[in-house]
Structure 1
Amino acid sequence: MKIIVIGCTHAGTAATTQMAKLYPDAEIVVYERNDNISFLSCGIALHVGGIVKDAAQLFYANPAQLAEMGVATRMRHDVLAVDTIGKKVQVKNLATGEILYDRYDKLVMTTGSWPIIPKLAGIELANILLCKNYAHSQTIIQKAADAAKITVIGAGYIGIELAEAFQQLGKEVTLIDNTDRVLFKYLDREYTERVEEELTSRQIRLALGQGVTGFAGEAGKVTRVVTTAGEYETDLVVLCIGFRPNTELLKGQANMLDNGALIVDEYMRTSCPDVFAAGDSCAIHYNPTGQDAYIPLATNAVRMGALIARNLVKPTVKYMGTQGTSGIKIYDYHIASTGMTEQAARSAGMIVKSVTINDNYRPEFMPTYEKVLLKVVYEETGRRIIGAQIMSKADLTQAINTLSVCIQNEMTMDELSFVDFFFQPHYNKPWNLLNQAGLQAI
């Protein structure tokens, strides 16, 4: 069996290593256009901020390790075309310019995503940077060293983390987003208000509810960001406005969402025979709505990649779907969310209610305790849980993993009320926060 893998970051690495173990007699060839594999892009802000000193620590696999498993990894090889009928690929060796052709029995599409680059005036100016891979991280660090004023465009997870990192390096930071709140996709307003207060208290300038219309510069370098509300002087711009799936190779051959994300079934199969997909290149089954959605997360990628290996020869293990569970640390606050925010649910036409717990996370007779803000969103009819958010200076983020399981298993608030959770004064109160949320709902 000949297996070709296109792209080798999270999903590709997970699929390749598992396939090498499960099918030792298979011939596995990986084509990767970059000169490295398995880079943890979620660690870029930690590297930029100096918390992770050595970028090599952000790689968890390399071609030599794959070679020991019998995998042929072709670095700096760009796949130009895929013929799913003839089961062959056209590849360019980026080092030599040579064009070669290869055939497969099974094809694994783990081509990932690429940052969205808006078509704006001045976008070609120097010092307007992307944030996705290892090369980007090195360029950001190099350019930021000489920049006094830095503008981050996009107030999602990556944008927030970079803004914090730059501020801690002593930079004058402006954070721009076209929505009226930071972390709009992940948190409801009662959370984002607290995050915004924390950011502004650190002198990060928030320019929210305004879209970028262009860039201006001098001597070929960006000096100003122009928005619908004004202009901001800057020495450096980092674009963090989202990602687009890399799926041009299968355009017109496989079923996709409107944004180009490949649609896969519960066994990670695309609509093309013997072609599988995982990670940022494809859609996921989103349990809160039961629909396909594009949620590019490393956690989704590694799970889906591992499932490809198990389902490559025959359907074996079904994908359970995802809740889009994620977390972030912003200064002293630990924040996590799963499923839908209340605003997202209402925007989707769902009839929902929510409960909010604002309490100390453990008994007041303990020497110290911190406030915790927990919100659970549920359907009004049937009270099925569809989302939750938590925020505290104590790390209580694992509660969101618990609620992710609840959503996946279609639990109700009634059931959450009496789930068996332990009590120990070091960690919680006799009625666990999650029990409290359930009880408040019923």
Structure 2
Amino acid sequence: MTNKEEKTLTHYVIIGGDAAGMSAAMEIVRHDKKAQVTTLEQGTVYSYGQCGLPYVIDGRIANAERVIARSPETFRDRYGIDARTNHRVESIDYEKKEVHGTHVETDETFTVHYDKLLIATGAHPLVPSLRNSDLSGIQVFKTIEQTKQLVAAIEEKQHVTVIGGGYIGLEVAEALTLAGKKVRLIQRGDRLAKNFDDSISEAILTKAREHGIEVLLNEEVIGFEGEDVVRKVTTKNGAYATDYVVLALGVRPATAFAQSPQLHTLRNGAIVTNEQMETTIPDVYAAGDCASHFNRLTGKHDYIPLGTTANKQGRVAGLAMCGEDARFKGIVGTSIFQFFDYAIGGTGLNERALQATNRDYDSITLTANAIAGYYPGGDKMTLTLYYDTFTRHLLGVQIIGGAGVDKRLDVIATALYAQLTVEDLLDLDLSYAPPFNGVWDPVQQMARRLQR
């Protein structure tokens, strides 16, 4: 390539090689034929499905490599992207438009110039300062390497303690139980799955104990005991013997290296962007778990890190970076997870969130069949629908049950996006046949009751 040709190229630099970063990179390659794309990933793996990793623990997914979508070599050879691995970014000079960092293996420093920059570094697991947390046998769980570490470790371990009762903690506890391990789950608060209503949290607690998981609520972990290897978890209430510990205490945006007085962030460090994923610094964009997420229901910037949102924001960022009129329209807060034979999902605002808004709302709870009542094999589900008392606009739903929860959750998520009312649900043309539904879908059954 000649110097003249290089000057006509736009150099896009993307920090982070997973969902948001590589979604953006692919859009840039497709839409800007004069693009020079460099991606900087501090690990060795690109573009993988983190949400699938808990299922590797018990063998539902055969191995961690199965969740990898594309390798760095694929991005380099097929798409012409300079996909670098082991490149840890440590600072950004926004005035000079330079990214600075260190190669993880060689300790050599590097500097990369950009015309346009995307920060897509995701989030770090929270690791609190606990006594003796450097003992062997204590780990977080987020990456492929950490998954392999856990799978290898539990081959010789009988008892595992999981600290944290959110999505990841519950999924890991379930997987370890299915892998034949004795599991203790320690939660600092008074209930599990705090993003859901109390009734769902109670059902999850009951289900965990049914499957032999020892659940300790209102237990604040203060440290660990052992000679080189962890042997006990200590809390303010006592000490508990264990063979291994998994920390699942949530995540924090990985943005410390990018901080600047000119860069607006939320209190937790998530980078605030506009609809086109532009930050408050010219030619700098952010997307994914390191960025804020505009909540359509509250009208505020929120932080709900999910793979679906990361891919969408990455796509918008890539298009916007090369001049396309793409916009991220926001989230309504949809999530779902499996816990043994339960499917548990929510979208919109739950009761605690609504109480915090001082909004006038009401709700209806219904237990219904997922399919026609006379057709064999159907599961029941319990739904709680929240709506505005005066306008009747939908505000959210919480659902727990078996098969079919996802379908109803997605109906309400779509209705929230479209700002539908309770009465609008009655007019939706939803699919029906006895193996799949009743003539009135459960979400429409709730609307009918409210109409009466």
TM range (shorter): over 0.9
Q: Which moved more, 1:11-20 or 1:332-341?
A: 332-341
1:64 corresponds to which of 58, 62, 73: 73
1:226 corresponds to which of 207, 231, 234: 234
- Residue 314 of structure 1 deviates from its aligned partner by 3.1
**Which residue of the partner structure matches residue 88 of structure 1?**
98
1:282 corresponds to which of 268, 272, 291: 291
Q: Is the 8 Å Cα contact of residues 151 and 173 (structure 1) preserved in structure 2?
A: yes
Give 1:17-96 correspondences, 5 Å limit: 17-67=26-76, 68-96=78-106
- Residue 45 of structure 1 deviates from its aligned partner by 1.0
| 2:276 pairs with 1:267 | yes
**Which residue of the partner structure matches residue 165 of structure 2?**
155
- Residue 313 of structure 1 deviates from its aligned partner by 3.2
| 2:198 pairs with 1:164 | no
- Residue 224 of structure 1 deviates from its aligned partner by 1.3
How has the CA–CA distance of structure 1 residues 250 and 123 changed in structure 2, closer, same or farther, with 3 Å as cutoff? same
| 2:422 pairs with 1:413 | yes
Q: Which moved more, 1:387-396 or 1:191-200?
A: 387-396
Q: Is the 8 Å Cα contact of residues 31 and 322 (structure 2) preserved in structure 1?
A: no
User: What is the alpha-carbon root mean square deviation over aligned residues?
Assistant: 1.5
**Which residue of the partner structure matches residue 390 of structure 2?**
381
**Which residue of the partner structure matches residue 300 of structure 1?**
309
2:157 and 2:16 map into 1 onto residues whose CA distance is 34
| 2:306 pairs with 1:291 | no
Q: Is the 8 Å Cα contact of residues 216 and 226 (structure 1) preserved in structure 2?
A: yes
Structure 1 stretches lacking a partner, 5+ long: none
1:11 and 1:245 map into 2 onto residues whose CA distance is 13
| 2:258 pairs with 1:250 | yes
Spell out, residue by residue over 1:372-418, the C-alpha distance to the aligned partner (whole angstroms, 9 max, x if none).
Answer: 11121122231221211222222331211121111112211122233
Q: Which moved more, 1:414-423 or 1:60-69?
A: 414-423
**Which residue of the partner structure matches residue 120 of structure 1?**
130
| Equivalent AA in structure 1 for residue 246 of structure 2 | V
2:240 and 2:361 map into 1 onto residues whose CA distance is 40
How has the CA–CA distance of structure 1 residues 173 and 348 changed in structure 2, closer, same or farther, with 3 Å as cutoff? farther
**Which residue of the partner structure matches residue 20 of structure 2?**
11
Q: Is the 8 Å Cα contact of residues 32 and 78 (structure 1) preserved in structure 2?
A: yes
1:139 and 1:215 map into 2 onto residues whose CA distance is 20
Spell out, residue by residue over 1:44-91, the C-alpha distance to the aligned partner (whole angstroms, 9 max, x if none).
Answer: 210011111122111001111111211001111111211112111113
- Residue 315 of structure 1 deviates from its aligned partner by 5.8
Indicate the SS of the match to 1:221.
coil
Give 1:117-196 correspondences, 5 Å limit: 117-185=127-195, 187-196=196-205
1:342 and 1:164 map into 2 onto residues whose CA distance is 26
| 2:216 pairs with 1:211 | no
1:141 and 1:348 map into 2 onto residues whose CA distance is 43
Q: Is the 8 Å Cα contact of residues 32 and 322 (structure 2) preserved in structure 1?
A: no
Q: Which moved more, 1:110-119 or 1:420-429?
A: 420-429
How has the CA–CA distance of structure 1 residues 313 and 362 changed in structure 2, closer, same or farther, with 3 Å as cutoff? closer
Q: Is the 8 Å Cα contact of residues 335 and 346 (structure 2) preserved in structure 1?
A: yes
**Which residue of the partner structure matches residue 321 of structure 2?**
312
| 2:376 pairs with 1:367 | yes
2:198 and 2:350 map into 1 onto residues whose CA distance is 10
2:379 and 2:121 map into 1 onto residues whose CA distance is 43
User: With structure 2 as the length reference, what TM-score do the two structures score?
Assistant: 0.94
Give 1:324-339 correspondences, 5 Å limit: 324-339=333-348
Spell out, residue by residue over 1:93-117, the C-alpha distance to the aligned partner (whole angstroms, 9 max, x if none).
Answer: 2232222222111001001110010
- Residue 7 of structure 1 deviates from its aligned partner by 0.8
| Equivalent AA in structure 2 for residue 51 of structure 1 | R
Q: Is the 8 Å Cα contact of residues 288 and 387 (structure 1) preserved in structure 2?
A: no
2:154 and 2:404 map into 1 onto residues whose CA distance is 31
2:99 and 2:375 map into 1 onto residues whose CA distance is 64
Spell out, residue by residue over 1:343-383, the C-alpha distance to the aligned partner (whole angstroms, 9 max, x if none).
Answer: 22213433321111102223332233321111211222312
2:259 and 2:330 map into 1 onto residues whose CA distance is 24
User: With structure 1 as the length reference, what TM-score do the two structures score?
Assistant: 0.96
Structure 2 stretches lacking a partner, 5+ long: 1-9
Spell out, residue by residue over 1:271-322, the C-alpha distance to the aligned partner (whole angstroms, 9 max, x if none).
Answer: 0100011011111001221111111111110000000111113361221101
Aligned length, in residue pairs: 440
Q: Is the 8 Å Cα contact of residues 13 and 61 (structure 1) preserved in structure 2?
A: no
1:373 and 1:220 map into 2 onto residues whose CA distance is 47
